[in-house]
Amino acid sequence: MNIADFSDQLLTAMINADRAGAADIIECAVAAGVDPPRVIAHILDPAIVSLGRLWEGEAISLAQGFVASKIAEDALLRCLPVGGVHQHTKGAVVIGNIEDDFHSLGRRTVGLFLTAAGWDVYDLGNDVPAEQFLKKALEVNACVIGASAMMQTTALNIRRLRRLIDARGLRDRIKLAVGGAVFNWRPELVAEVGGDGTAHNAVGADQLFIRLQSQVKREVAQ
């Protein structure tokens, strides 16, 4: 079976809410020699993109979308073992979905990739108010907050976090990374909500956070 077949099969299992079947497909792919990063990039990612299209075409229900994303999370966790690899960390970062946003999948993917890249990730989950992001960032001495939003309406809630960071005089000490599908469709939204940068996907998150951390170091040193 080729890699595209695995992806098609996974999509079918996701649509049919077949969690066990999906897990078997991932295991078969790994057993056939597809390494975990390629499972994510060439099997899981295309399945999620197709799922998004079906959703937009109203070919699947909200409940199907929900279960399918749970299955996608299982696959991610299977393919990205976390912990124990890094002797020292790059630093602490805080991530979460902004207030009113419950699209956890993208944020969790970003968290897994950042952890694998050596960051100490504090993931606050879904529906996180601006105050909570900042409180945690100060508590763990994070240099970057990553706010995820999938919808236009929820993305605008990030403005409150921007205002809070600025009002406390922390603009130089804590950078604000933003991301989610809506920022990929409307890049101008990054500036509109006061983001210091974005990445199109989880693969680009490490580079973005490194860049923002070095900005903090420069600005704090000045």
Give the footprint of ligand B12 on this chain (CB under 6 A): 48, 51-52, 55-56, 62, 65-66, 69, 100-107, 109-110, 146, 148, 150-152, 177-182, 184, 198-199, 201-202, 205, 208
> With contact defined as beta carbons under 8 Å apart, do 34 and 6 qualify?
yes
Question: What's the min distance (Å) between Cβ of 69 and ligand B12?
Answer: 4
- What single-letter DSSP state applies at residue 178? E
CA angle in degrees (0–180, nearest 5) for 144-206-181: 85
Nearer to ligand B12, 1 or 53 (CB): 53
- What single-letter DSSP state applies at residue 126? S
Nearer to ligand B12, 56 or 188 (CB): 56
Question: What's the min distance (Å) between Cβ of 49 and ligand B12?
Answer: 8
> Cα separation of 27 and 19, whole Å?
13
Nearer to ligand B12, 58 or 222 (CB): 58
Nearer to ligand B12, 1 or 82 (CB): 82
Question: What's the min distance (Å) between Cβ of 71 and ligand B12?
Answer: 10
Query: Which has the closest alpha carbon to 69: 134, 113, 15, 140?
Result: 15
Q: Which residues contact 84 (CB under 8 A, 6 or more apart)?
A: none
